[in-house]
Amino acid sequence: GESVGLHLPTLSVQEGDNSIINCAYSNSASDYFIWYKQESGKGPQFIIDIRSNMDKRQGQRVTVLLNKTVKHLSLQIAATQPGDSAVYFCAENMNAGGTSYGKLTFGQGTILTVHP
Amino acid sequence: NAGVTQTPKFRVLKTGQSMTLLCAQDMNHEYMYWYRQDPGMGLRLIHYSVGEGTTAKGEVPDGYNVSRLKKQNFLLGLESAAPSQTSVYFCASSYLAGRPEQFFGPGTRLTVL
């Protein structure tokens, strides 16, 4: 796969542990946040999203927390499995007058490695 | 449904050559996007389209052109390739601006020598 992991933050966990991946976003006008997972050699895959009027949203084994005061987003993965090993990106959508056309600004990414 | 597909998967060009990357989606999505991904820099938006016949510039449009003649296809052109355009290119599509989840293709790895 492509070497997209150079100089990215990394997180190593043991199988079964919980993982927390953090993201600082830049624009206080962003109204929508998305987490993506990218496995080696593949395109990003949607995990979970959250609107700016929420502070927590849960999915299957994943939880996203949003702290607008400090412009911080986190992704929690419960009972992490080797198949969760990937690069994780946060993305924000700024609704500029309702016409952002779904444009996303992506963070740099975090490499998650899960050891059996 | 195939989702979002991209052709080719790999390509090597010499400086100054031209090429076109093709993106196709079968989800009837209105919005389509082209990104490039470089090591340690995440994804950066090159151009996007909000509907058939419309295109707009993204964050890094220089050196690229796009066309959306059909709703399901979004083409990215490099008229005169440069080594700085060596990257992995991803196409994405989405249905509604109100829920900006984007669906990505598998990517095209381009090397410019």
Say whether pLDDT at B14 is over 70.
Answer: yes
Measured between CA atoms, how close is B79 to chain A, in angstroms? 24
Smallest CA-to-CA distance from B3 within B102, B108, B87, B70 is with: B102
Residue range B72-95, pLDDT digits in tens: 999 999 999 999 999 999 999 998
What does the pLDDT read at residue B42? 83
Q: What's the pLDDT at A115? A: 95
Residues A25, B62: Cα–Cα separation, whole Å: 26
For residue A26, the model assigns a pLDDT of 83
Q: Which of B6, B101, B108 to mutate to test the interface with A (most CBs of A within 10 A)?
A: B101
Chain segment B35-45, per-residue pLDDT in tens? 999 987 789 99
Q: In terms of pLDDT, which residue wins out, B81 or A1?
A: B81
Helices marked H in chain B: none
In this prediction, residues B30-53 reach a mean pLDDT of: 91
A2 touching B, CB under 8 A?
yes
Chain A segment 3-22 residues within 8 A of B by beta carbon are: 3-8
Q: What is the pLDDT of residues A50-69, one digit of tens each?
A: 999 999 999 999 999 999 99
Q: What pLDDT score does A46 carry?
A: 93
Q: What is the pLDDT of residues A84-106, one digit of tens each?
A: 999 999 999 876 555 556 788 89
Q: What is the Cα–Cα distance from A11 to A85, expressed in whole angstroms?
A: 10
The answer to whether residue A77 scores a pLDDT higher than 70 is yes
Q: Label residue B17 by pLDDT band (50, 70, 90).
A: very high
Closest partner residue to B104 (CB to CB) among A44, A103, A107 is: A44
What was the pLDDT predicted at A4? 34
At A5, list the tokens.
Answer: 């992991």
Q: What is the pLDDT of residues A39-48, one digit of tens each?
A: 999 999 999 9
Top residue of B43, B60, B95 to mutate, by most chain A CBs within 10 Å, is B43
pLDDT of residue A104: 86
Quick one: average pLDDT of B56-62?
A: 94
Q: Quick one: tokens of B92?
A: 């994405």
Whole-angstrom Cα distance, residue A62 to residue A43?
Answer: 20
The pLDDT, as a whole number, for residue A2 is 32
What is the full DSSP assignment across chain A?
Answer: ---TTTT--EEEEETTS-EEEEEE---TTEEEEEEEEE-TTS--EEEEEEETT-SEEE-SSEEEEEETTTTEEEEEESS--GGG-EEEEEEEEE-STT--TT-EEE---EEEEEE-
pLDDT of A13-29, one tens digit each? 999 999 999 999 988 88
